[in-house]
Amino acid sequence: MKTLLDHNQLNITLMRLAHQLIENHLDFKETAIVGIQPRGIWLSDRIATMVKQITGQRIDYGKMDITFYRDDVHQGAVIVPNETDIRFSVEGRKVVLIDDVLFTGRTIRSAMDALLDFGRAQDVELMVLIDRRFSRELPIQPDYVGLTVDTVNTQKVKVYWKEKDERDEVVLIDQ
């Protein structure tokens, strides 16, 4: 097991991601942030809070579950879905999708499918904390990246959040 980001490094990374987002959007009236369930919401919670604090603006922030849009539901055991909570229209908005780790790209494909069912967004950006860049199975690239790591498929990247796991840390696990 190797630590990729410790508590301090994670905080600095999150701060940078929030500032990049603000730099690109400035006015958040047209922008909405959507975290992907289950683990992406810990990152999106932090980013949404930081952006609110820095800009002082009200921001539309929702959480989306993509279970019903997965392409592997029938290959394995079904999973009980998490909550979806999007209380605003995404029609014509700039949507920033947020997830913790980008691996094969299949979750993001499902998320884009799910998002389309809430309306036609003007454009969609992707923010991830960790980009496992050589593991992609679909042509999906993030717009905002916390840390790019080169891994093999047998390795696992795990992100721990203080709110849920009692510590902030990103680790690489050899299986």
CA distance 122 to 145: 22
Question: Of the listed pieces 13-21, 51-59, 80-88, 124-132, which binds other proteins according to CB under 8 A?
Answer: 80-88
For residue 149, what are its two tokens? 């790591």
Q: Does 173 bind other proteins (CB under 8 A)?
A: no
Number of residues counted as binding other proteins (CB under 8 A): 24
Amino acid at 2: K
Q: Does 8 bind other proteins (CB under 8 A)?
A: no
Q: Which is nearer to other proteins, 61 or 103 (CB)?
A: 103
Q: Single out the residue of 23, 27, 78, 166 in contact with other proteins (rule: CB under 8 A).
A: 78
Q: Does 152 bind other proteins (CB under 8 A)?
A: no
Burial class for 10, CB neighbours closer than 10 Å (0-12, 13-18, 19+): buried
Q: Which is nearer to other proteins, 46 or 63 (CB)?
A: 63
Question: Of the listed pieces 8-16, 18-26, 60-68, 144-152, which binds other proteins according to CB under 8 A?
Answer: 60-68
DSSP 107-165: HHHHHHHHHHTT---SEEEEEEEEEEGGG-SSS---SEEEEEE---TTEEEEEE-HHHH
Residues at the site binding other proteins, with contacts judged by CB under 8 A: 65, 67-70, 72-81, 83-84, 103-104, 113, 116-119
